[in-house]
């Protein structure tokens, strides 16, 4: 598939929508992405043609559903270059559940009092709160790696805090606020030399850039379908076979067992051990269609497109008086999220004004309250881009910001 933004946009029905008479400008992709017709059709096709439960049935519909579901598992593993997708890819509800699975199933079994869990100052709550909870339960301690004023990890702090007490390094590959791309491979090497496991939050990175888990050297990687053109309600946990085999199940019930008596149970092999009960069959299958779409485009091409439009947004925002942009200023060093504040206008107010211009952004603490305090910001506005966004949509964002200045300037003058 040739990378043609106009052709790509025609695959997304929602992008034809108008909001308050204006064409929709969707810049909230870090929260969730829109879905192409191919994904929507795959979801409908399942329900219309082979809706059935998987694995246990012997009839035609069950066998077709099982094949499509397991096919999506193989696609997900191939997308991140897992060595053995049939065992190393676990389907969950979302990135949050994947990270909770690791924190509970690995942390509860292996962490002891005095052990240290190390995360970064830019973590999403999903890769922070579960570890805090497990630390309270096990007696482990939590520590974090500092960032500099450009939103990058401080290398000396990384090297100082990874030591013989470190058992877990939990790190985002790409910050959902700053867009910073962290050096996971180098950190993983340090962590493994210290005897620690590496848990990567890939919710923002996997949809936006080529990701190779074997090259990264991580023990676990979590990401979500809905941030990469797929449906909501599907998460992926990659884990090495060694790490997954060493863990106990996270949930008990059907499908995750080998043999059950009234007294005890034995557990199924991977990946079933971690997939109790009937899964989200339809959405997993549609997720497979989303992976097909991304692979046809090529993740290198997706990344190149996002670098171009992100740099354009950074440059235009930085040229405005009163705008403070957070994180790296070079788009090649970050993902497609551009976080900023404008004058003394609260981000929530700015977001509402932008909505009047049909521009959808995100405003708030972005599930990263500790980072907000590090940035000395109550909240921020975030415009985030994806493979279907155009440069003229950045122009619409700038137009809306200028309109907010006029609106709130008039309010202040009227109040005075």
**What single string gives the DSSP state of each residue in 378-410?**
S-EEEEE--TT--HHHHHHHHHHHHHHHHHHHH
CB atoms within 10 A of CB 410: 10
Distance CA 188, CA 243 (A): 15
Which residues are registered as beta bridge partners of 143? 118
Radius of gyration of the CA atoms of the chain, in A: 22
Report the sign of the C-alpha dihedral through residues 288, 294, 295, 297, in that order.
positive
3: left (phi over 0), alpha (psi -120 to 50) or beta: beta
Query: Which H or E run contains 137?
Result: helix 129-138
Active site residues: 367
Residue 312: Cβ within 10 Å count: 17
How many contiguous H segments (helices) and E segments (strands) does the chain have? 16, 17
Neighbouring C-alpha atoms within 13 Å toward the C-beta of 49: 10
Q: How far apart are CA 141 and CA 143, in angstroms?
A: 7
Question: Is residue 4 reached through a cis peptide bond, with omega within 30 degrees of 0 on the bond before it?
Answer: no
**d(C-alpha 398, C-alpha 391), whole Å:** 11
Q: E strands of 81-125, at which residues?
A: 89-92, 116-120
Strand order in the sheet with 380-384: 323-326, 337-342, 380-384, 362-364
């Amino acid at each position: 598939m040739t990378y043609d933004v106009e052709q790509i946009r025609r695959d997304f029905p929602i992008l034809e929508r108008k909001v308050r008479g204006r064409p929709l400008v969707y810049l909230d992709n870090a929260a969730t992405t829109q879905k192409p017709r191919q994904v929507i059709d795959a979801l409908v096709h399942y329900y219309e043609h082979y809706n059935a439960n998987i694995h246990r049935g012997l009839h035609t519909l069950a066998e077709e559903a099982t094949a499509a579901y397991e096919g999506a598992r193989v696609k997900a593993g191939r997308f991140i270059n897992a060595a053995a997708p049939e065992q190393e890819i676990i389907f969950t509800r979302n990135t949050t559940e994947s990270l909770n699975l690791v924190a509970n199933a690995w942390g509860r079994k292996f962490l002891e009092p005095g052990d240290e869990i190390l995360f970064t100052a830019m973590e999403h709550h999903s890769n922070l709160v579960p570890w805090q909870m497990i630390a309270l339960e096990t007696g482990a301690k939590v520590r974090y790696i500092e960032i500099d004023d450009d939103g990058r990890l401080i290398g000396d702090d990384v090297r100082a805090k990874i030591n013989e007490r470190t058992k877990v390094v939990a790190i985002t590959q790409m910050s959902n606020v700053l867009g910073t791309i962290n050096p996971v491979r180098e950190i993983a090497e340090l962590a493994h030399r210290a005897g620690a496991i590496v848990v990567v939050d890939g919710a923002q990175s996997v949809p936006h850039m080529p990701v190779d888990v074997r090259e990264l050297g991580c023990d676990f990687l979590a990401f979500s379908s809905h941030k990469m053109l797929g449906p909501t309600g599907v998460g992926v946990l990659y884990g090495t076979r060694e790490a997954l085999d060493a863990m106990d199940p996270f949930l008990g019930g059907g499908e995750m067992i080998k043999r059950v008596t009234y007294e005890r149970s034995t557990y199924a092999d991977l990946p079933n051990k971690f997939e109790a009960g009937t899964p989200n069959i339809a959405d997993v299958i549609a997720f497979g269609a989303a992976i097909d779409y991304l692979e046809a485009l090529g993740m290198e091409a997706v990344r190149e497109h996002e670098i171009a439009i992100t740099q354009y947004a950074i440059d235009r925002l930085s040229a405005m008086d009163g705008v403070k942009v957070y994180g790296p200023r070079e788009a090649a060093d970050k993902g497609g999220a551009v976080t900023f504040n404008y004058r003394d206008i609260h981000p929530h107010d700015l977001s509402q004004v932008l909505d009047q211009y049909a521009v959808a952004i995100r405003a708030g603490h972005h599930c990263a309250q500790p980072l907000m305090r590090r940035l000395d910001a109550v909240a921020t506005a975030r415009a985030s881009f994806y493979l279907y966004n155009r440069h003229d949509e950045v122009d619409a964002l700038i137009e809306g910001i200028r309109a907010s200045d006029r609106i709130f300037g008039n309010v202040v003058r009227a109040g005075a």
